[in-house]
Structure 1
Amino acid sequence: MLPNNHPPSTAALVVQGRSLRMLGRRTYNATCPACCLPPEILSMIFLHFHVDFLPLEVRLRCNPTHRMLLNITHVCRYWRTTALGYARLWTGIPLVDRSCIAAFAARSKNMPVSVRGRVSTVKREITSRFRALPLSRLEYLHLECAPRHGVVLDNRIVHRIVKMDLPGEEAPMLKVLNLSTRHPDQFAQLLQTPKKMPALICLCVSRVEIDLTWLGTLTNLISLNILHLEPAARVSVLSLVGALRNLRRLKHLEIVSALRANEPSAEEVQNLAPIEHMRLQIFIVLDVANPSVILLKNATRAGIHTFQSQIFVHTSLLCTELALTSLADTICKTFLQHLRGARVIDYMRSLVCSVGKESAGDVRVTFTTASNTPLVSNPRAAFVTPGAFTITFSLGIAPANLHILSSLWWRVLGIIETEYPRSPGFFINTLVMRADASLPDDCSQFYYWAGYPTLSLKEIALIRLSVAGFCMQFADHRLRQDAAQEPVTTVPPPVLPALEGLQVFEFDFEQNSPVLDALKMGLIRRAQQKNELPADAAHAIPQMTLTIVDCRITQEHVQMLAEASEGPVVWDGKTDGGGKLKLGQIGATAEDEDSSA
């Protein structure tokens, strides 16, 4: 067939062109729908590029944020007009350079602005970028000093003191000021700040030295954090207390590695009067063995509202008698001695403790005074009822020194008995023990004190290797204390009359059959001892529930433990370490079984 050499007619070309235009119009609307959105909706979409809507790790970098906003203005004329007309979009000013700061400041118009970013450690660069900020509209400032990108840190650069100069006459809207350095061994010194900051309510400085005289002028301050100062720049407790006397609205105080460790003179101690008008709600200190910390605690003690407060103390010095004594003093006297009377006893019917090993070499101990009246709820605490007043201690001690906790209990209970000889008995209600492979082979000093007659344990949770040490002594435990007291040199068997729940987590019973045998012997022994007690005494002994979670255990092991249980056995059948086994009514008498039936 010969090809057609005749050109198409004019009518055919018109129809073809019309169809192509319609196809192009439909394709444009399908691929670029954002160009047809109203400016109000498009502005809300752009707002998700704002620094306040980004995750924290992206927010701290800030460079990707301002670049995304600038790229929006170069997509098309409609997007540029919409973005430039929405002032809120430009309120997060990045500390990149003076031109970028000026552009964001102009586009934000009269809106309050926030500044987050890192600057070089060069003084003139810090000053230059700060001068470009609109101080009259500045509401939040998070400034972090870091070496320039690509600079290799050596000892000369790290130990050089960075000079932070933030000049200005007045910042009337500034509410939050956060200053820090990027490197943990690099410190800074704040030379100058705006002369007037009447709205400042939160000040946080980390590795940045400040003037305490200037601190005393911030009368509206609510939260103060002074963290990790250089040893040569640490302040005296007298100067700090002098500045705190003017901060009557202060609610949150955190002092970490900021006080001098030298021993204050007797004259300084006498001249340190308590701060009468302070109403702290959260008081956080570090290194409780520091004499200056003790003085600061005494100075703020008169103003602490005990029924609305909590204290979190972290110390890595719990290896000496002095540190142990100071820790016990902080626990008891700070929250008891200045509130003498029956009211304190009513609020402290029991002393609840949980010990959880969160990482190698770190043990967190939580003391809780349980009561019927709500005091304060602390989410850090384990096994804490909603209405509880909690004191949490993070003890950074080596695993080999865990037996020091035994001495800590005796000191705490001794101080309480001395201060309140007629008070009802204090006891530890809950104990959580966790041990890793880093523990020594001989851990008897850590486990045997859990069953002292002075302690009444209701809930015990055992995690990993702590299961073996406790179960070996649980096989010989008692329900009552004998009249004849054993010598102090011998290890007494655990006395657990109030035990209601025993939980075992993450243990391999398949490879540790003797531990399972000891656990079964303890369950049988508990039932036998309860049957031997008089009827009135047997009713005072609660039934115990054993729960095994995430342990490697066989079906034969489950049947072995079920023989010691008079109640129902609930097991999901998993043996590979992800199952759950629950045995109820352990130690139930015949009367208990009839009543339950």
Structure 2
Amino acid sequence: MMVFTSIDIIPRGGTTLVEQCRTDIDKDIAALFASLSALRSRRNALASIFSLPPEVLVNIFIYFVEEGNFKIYTGIPRRGGAPILMIVTHVCRHWRQVALECPSLWTFIDIDCLSAPWVPIMLERSKKAALVVIYNEPSSPEYWPLVQLLSQLPRIKVLKLCTFSIVVDLILDCLSSEPAPLLQIFNYKVLGNHDPRISVRPISDSIFQGRAPLLRSVELAECAFILTSHVFSGLQTLDLRQIGPSPHLTLSQLHSALKRMPDLELLTLFLSSRISEDTELFDQVPLTRLRRIVLNGCAIRTAVSLFSHLVLPVDASIALCLTEIESPQSFSDLFSAIHKDPDRSFPIIRSLHAKFTDDTVSVQFSTSLAYIRNRDIVRLSIQFEYASDSAIIFGMCRMVPHHKIQKLYISTSLDLSQDFWRAGFAHLPELESVNLRRTSIAGFILALMPVGVSMACPLLRALDIYDTDIGCDELRDLREIARMRAKGDVCIQKLGLMDCRNVTEGNVQLLERVIAYVEWDGHEDVLMNSHGGCICPTCLDSDDSEDSSADAHSED
């Protein structure tokens, strides 16, 4: 046997020498890795993305962050507990450096999405930039991150809070500790404010130490508030919501607060029906810039008291959700309070949109003839509970000043009677177009039937029917009515049938002989049962009558 010796072969017993060799090799490997990393960095630096100036990268990062924050605003959850910008900082060293050197990228602090340890990091990286602070879903009583954030009140521009009532005093102490010179939007909602054992301190003049010169939007829900401070004098948007049994607010206090807000444009009041209507006298409150007012959850007499002391622009949009409708005459009082000067030039109301359920009526008066998709064209919207007679909406039309209703939209699953439609034709003499959705047309057709030589609704020129089950005889009757109206020179010029059941191509061809323009979507869905019998409304009514007659004969 031959034994070869070499300097590369280490004897088994040389433990110290082996460890030294391993250490030297590890150093060589680390040096190679460092060299390789440097070469990769130099190679990456030649990529076209690195030719972009840092300010361009910042704009890209801002767009990325704003898109992520928008998703948070719209309720799309985000996991991880870290700010969304961390994705950018993990791309490469250059991007990380650019992101860390831009404070405005770290100003959106949503405590609902961030874990608590990130709060001081965000405050440090944002430096002195204006902050957006959101805390809307308190899941635990640990409020220390919020208290830490509120210590930065002088540089917060948007503040949206939601806390439990037990910490209201703590939050108000923080909000009153310093001025808020940059604050523009302030929202505060209190949860669990229905326990009579907990006394909730009101928001008062001491908030922000009375200094928030840029404050333009305030939303308060279930808070006790006193809004007489000059800190609220520049508001353009005010949203007050009181749903629970406390706190109490009087109309004079509300008017006194509104009087100090001459620039108000959007006003939303969710007030319980038990709001105190005190007898204190107060002057008229001019809101000359108001574009929209929403009043929800109060009695109609409260609405009358409120509007009787407000002076609104003639084109202001009004939305009301009322309770305790005493009588139809109440609407006359309401409209008189809204339109105190009948000689002023108000926009003309041209369309009425109405929706019905078993116990609720919702009506919208619009200056446009188009289907309502933009609430700005709705000059007056009223929702109320009234189960006795749905035709009350036509009585309301008589009381609305400056109306010339030419188009009527009705949406309901209820069967509206012939009397309902006759009342509508009588109260709307200038009606030119009717749009029906999801409702039986039987009563409508009966009301259109001529009585003697007179034609009902003589200006009617267009009829649109959507998503409706049509009886076998109803299209035939409608065709006959159209033929008679054409003879009387009050013809129906347009008929629309969209997503309706029991309409066939043959029906449409017959209608086209007497109506100039029939718009049909080609949807054929004949209503038949498993035995081939028709189950349209007309046939079902006929079957019920025959069954009743048969039962009567069997009893005889």
1: CA distance, partners of 2:424 / 2:500: 23
Q: Match of 1:353, SS?
A: strand
Q: Match of 2:208, SS?
A: coil
2:179 is aligned, of 170, 173, 184, to 170
Listed one character per residue, the Cα deviations across residues 499-538 of structure 1 (whole Å, up to 9, x for unaligned) are 11111212233xx11212221221122123x1xxxxxxx5
User: How big is the shift at 1:176?
Assistant: 0.9
User: How big is the shift at 1:475?
Assistant: 3.1
Question: Residue 321 of structure 2 aligns with which residue?
Answer: 314
Write the letter of the residue equivalent to 1:94.
D
Question: Residue 245 of structure 2 aligns with which residue?
Answer: 231
TM-score, normalised relative to structure 1:
0.68
Q: Match of 1:194, SS?
A: helix
After alignment, is 177-186 or 469-478 more displaced?
177-186
Q: Is the 8 A contact 1:123 1:162 kept in 2?
A: no
* 1:448 to 2:422 alignment: yes
1:112 is aligned, of 103, 110, 130, to 130
Q: Match of 2:310, SS?
A: helix
Question: Residue 296 of structure 2 aligns with which residue?
Answer: 286
Question: Residue 405 of structure 1 aligns with which residue?
Answer: 393
2: CA distance, partners of 1:243 / 1:570: 54
Q: Is the 8 A contact 1:94 1:101 kept in 2?
A: no
1: CA distance, partners of 2:193 / 2:513: 58
Write the letter of the residue equivalent to 2:234.
N
2:469 is aligned, of 497, 508, 524, to 508
Return closer, same or farther for 1:126/1:355 CA change in 2, 3 Å cut-off.
Answer: farther
1:432 is aligned, of 409, 419, 431, to 409
Q: Is the 8 A contact 1:362 1:394 kept in 2?
A: no
User: How big is the shift at 1:54?
Assistant: 3.3
Return closer, same or farther for 1:455/1:508 CA change in 2, 3 Å cut-off.
Answer: same
Write the letter of the residue equivalent to 2:475.
L
2:213 is aligned, of 198, 206, 209, to 198
Question: Residue 5 of structure 1 aligns with which residue?
Answer: none
Write the letter of the residue equivalent to 1:507.
T
Which aligned pairs between 1:329-344 and structure 2 lie closer than 5 A? 329-335=333-339, 337-338=340-341, 340-341=342-343, 344=345
Question: Residue 82 of structure 1 aligns with which residue?
Answer: 98
User: How big is the shift at 1:130?
Assistant: 4.9
Q: Is the 8 A contact 1:500 1:542 kept in 2?
A: yes
Question: Residue 15 of structure 2 aligns with which residue?
Answer: none
User: How big is the shift at 1:56?
Assistant: 4.4
User: How big is the shift at 1:200?
Assistant: 0.8
Q: Match of 1:466, SS?
A: coil
Return closer, same or farther for 1:291/1:66 CA change in 2, 3 Å cut-off.
Answer: farther
Question: Residue 285 of structure 2 aligns with which residue?
Answer: 275
User: How big is the shift at 1:205?
Assistant: 1.0
2: CA distance, partners of 1:333 / 1:58: 38
2: CA distance, partners of 1:445 / 1:189: 55
1:143 is aligned, of 156, 161, 164, to 161
1:209 is aligned, of 203, 210, 224, to 224
User: How big is the shift at 1:93?
Assistant: 2.1
* 1:561 to 2:549 alignment: no
Question: Residue 83 of structure 2 aligns with which residue?
Answer: 67
User: How big is the shift at 1:242?
Assistant: 1.9
User: How big is the shift at 1:174?
Assistant: 0.6
Stretches of structure 1 that go unaligned for 5 or more consecutive residues are 1-16, 147-158, 372-376, 382-387, 417-424, 481-493, 531-537, 578-597
Write the letter of the residue equivalent to 1:90.
W
Return closer, same or farther for 1:130/1:284 CA change in 2, 3 Å cut-off.
Answer: farther
* 1:134 to 2:149 alignment: no
Question: Residue 450 of structure 2 aligns with which residue?
Answer: 476
Return closer, same or farther for 1:29/1:548 CA change in 2, 3 Å cut-off.
Answer: same
User: How big is the shift at 1:132?
Assistant: 5.1
Q: Is the 8 A contact 1:257 1:286 kept in 2?
A: yes
Q: Match of 1:525, SS?
A: helix
Question: Residue 258 of structure 2 aligns with which residue?
Answer: 244
Q: Is the 8 A contact 1:51 1:92 kept in 2?
A: no
2: CA distance, partners of 1:442 / 1:370: 25
* 1:458 to 2:458 alignment: no
TM-score, normalised relative to structure 2:
0.72
Listed one character per residue, the Cα deviations across residues 426-485 of structure 1 (whole Å, up to 9, x for unaligned) are 54311112221xx2x5734433312216622111112222323212322336774xxxxx
2: CA distance, partners of 1:446 / 1:123: 56
Return closer, same or farther for 1:74/1:526 CA change in 2, 3 Å cut-off.
Answer: closer
Greater Rg by CA: 2
Q: Is the 8 A contact 2:163 2:191 kept in 1?
A: yes
User: How big is the shift at 1:167?
Assistant: 3.6
Write the letter of the residue equivalent to 2:291.
Q
Q: Is the 8 A contact 1:111 1:137 kept in 2?
A: yes
User: How big is the shift at 1:235?
Assistant: 0.9
* 1:395 to 2:383 alignment: yes
> Aligned pair count?
475
User: How big is the shift at 1:140?
Assistant: 0.9
Return closer, same or farther for 1:317/1:446 CA change in 2, 3 Å cut-off.
Answer: farther
2: CA distance, partners of 1:515 / 1:126: 69
2: CA distance, partners of 1:502 / 1:200: 50
Write the letter of the residue equivalent to 1:81.
Q
* 1:544 to 2:493 alignment: yes
2: CA distance, partners of 1:453 / 1:245: 39
2: CA distance, partners of 1:408 / 1:189: 43
Query: RMSD of the alignment, in Å?
Result: 4.1
Write the letter of the residue equivalent to 1:408.
M
Return closer, same or farther for 1:103/1:232 CA change in 2, 3 Å cut-off.
Answer: same
Write the letter of the residue equivalent to 1:109.
K
Q: Match of 1:232, SS?
A: coil
2: CA distance, partners of 1:558 / 1:208: 59
Write the letter of the residue equivalent to 2:482.
L
Return closer, same or farther for 1:427/1:65 CA change in 2, 3 Å cut-off.
Answer: same
Q: Match of 2:308, SS?
A: helix
2: CA distance, partners of 1:167 / 1:127: 18
Question: Residue 188 of structure 2 aligns with which residue?
Answer: 179
* 1:299 to 2:309 alignment: yes
Percent identity between the two aligned chains: 22
